[in-house]
Amino acid sequence: MTVNSNTRTSSEVFVIESDNLREGLWPIRKRVDKVQYFLEHHNGFFYILTNAPVNDTETTTEGYYLARCRAEKSLVDRWQIVTVPDSDCTIQDMDIFHDNLVLFLRKNGTPLFCSISMPIDVDVQEPKELDDLNPWFFPIPSELCSIVAGSNNDFMSSTYQLVISSPVIPDLTVDYDLRKKTFTILHQEEVTTISANLGGLGFQSNVSSIQQNMQLVKTSQNWSDLSKLFSCERVEVISHDGVSIPLVILYSWGAHCHGESPGILYGYGAYGEDLDKSWCSERLSLLSRGWVLAFADVRGGGDLSWHMAGTKANKMHSIQDFAACGRHLIKQGFVHQNRLCAIGCSAGGLLVGAVINMLPDLFSAAVLKVPFLDICNTMLDPTLPLTVLDYEEFGDPNSPDEFEAISSYSPYDNLAPDVCYPPVLVTASFNDTRVGVWEAAKWVAKVRDVACPSCSQSVILKTNMQSGHFGEGGRFTHCDETAFEYAFLMKALGLDDVAMM
């Protein structure tokens, strides 16, 4: 049995042997700052995913690599590197079964999955190239996919399940046969309301064709998408320091109007989390009205090196990246310069709030959902649940240098007097244990106090007195909240259905 102890940037694993409980817990390796490792047991070996240094000149590696050691207390410090991925590829996770090892990969921003037959040659002394392990890469429908593992609890199984979706691919549940190297589509979400949403825009013939194709999934191995109705493209935006930032842009082929359309830019950029780009039927309401929806993968999210490039003193990179993506949408004619909106949730609210302070004219409206806005004061209170953990993400404000860095972008502390801020909807949850309800209330109160009088009236605070950080729960409650947010943005831009159609 293994016991994992993790912070946001380091980890430690303890083992207790089921046939020798008196021995108690013992560590595989003691914790080292900024070093993470995770392990699985297989046939007398521990297989380890880690960024531990491979030589004495390094502190960590750029990303994770695969290592292993004997599952014996006297030998666990002798790690043997199995494979180190190429510079354009990262290993993100792994699953181990009796006959197969499944690796979760990302190559040039594209998610990949592959299986490797187990056990791996135990006589290997030098790291192997991944291709030398004869991996089978799972067929996937699109490089813009969001992929999560399904229910894979049977260690003896030779089938691996994934749930796949993208902005134009309704959720797919797929079983991959690791032995036969084939796949079976078990289910794909049906889009039953697409005619109602898009039929009035001259797409009826295309809609009928798409709906017929969607039915093929039940009798064939073809996955279906809505790419005939919607464009979904990934572009690279050059940020302030020359780094390319991935931006996914989604719009309707028939309803989008070049240079005139309204749009929403989504961002998060923290904790190494990928921005969610999975299928969401609620977006059809906006897409059918000509809106452009864009997803900025700014630094601070994503894999290990991309995450570290947007933490602590580097946090300003995330903010500049998001601003660059917004300017790109306007400059390239995807969105009208007076119709660009932004949405950020939690740490994404910090991102959007910081850009609003830096460039108050960039966004014409914004929605900040349970936003982290008063970062300086929150990080100075170690009694709050996440403060000490967040030192690794944002820095420790007890250090003068790190306090200065945090202060430079804190949304609350950088509100300026007599500035015309855009209309902003701020939502808060009274029972939120991650981001205090007072942060949203303080920010709104200060905006109303310091902004120009006409702008201060367009900042709204909406507090749910029952919910926590992730909302109240329930499908219909979520739909109500989303409808309220969309209605706010439309009203803020002065748009209605007649004008937009």
Q: How far lies 259's CA from each of 177, 285, 405, 492, in Å?
A: 47, 20, 37, 19
Give the DSSP letter of residue 221: S
Minimal CA–CA distance to 406: which of 441, 379, 436?
A: 379
* Paired tokens of 6: 């993790």
The alpha carbon of 236 is separated from its chain's Cα centroid by a whole number of angstroms, namely 17
Angle formed by the axes of helices 400-409 and 347-358, nearest 10°: 70
Minimal CA–CA distance to 185: which of 217, 215, 149?
A: 217
Catalytic sites, residue numbers: 346, 432, 469
Q: How far lies 35's CA from each of 51, 307, 332, in Å?
A: 6, 14, 41
Cβ 177 vs Cβ 183: under 8 Å = yes
Other beta carbons within 10 Å of 2:
14
Bridge partner residues of 103 (DSSP): 94, 114
Preceding amide of 400 cis, omega within 30: no
Q: How far lies 72's CA from each of 28, 41, 79, in Å?
A: 10, 11, 12
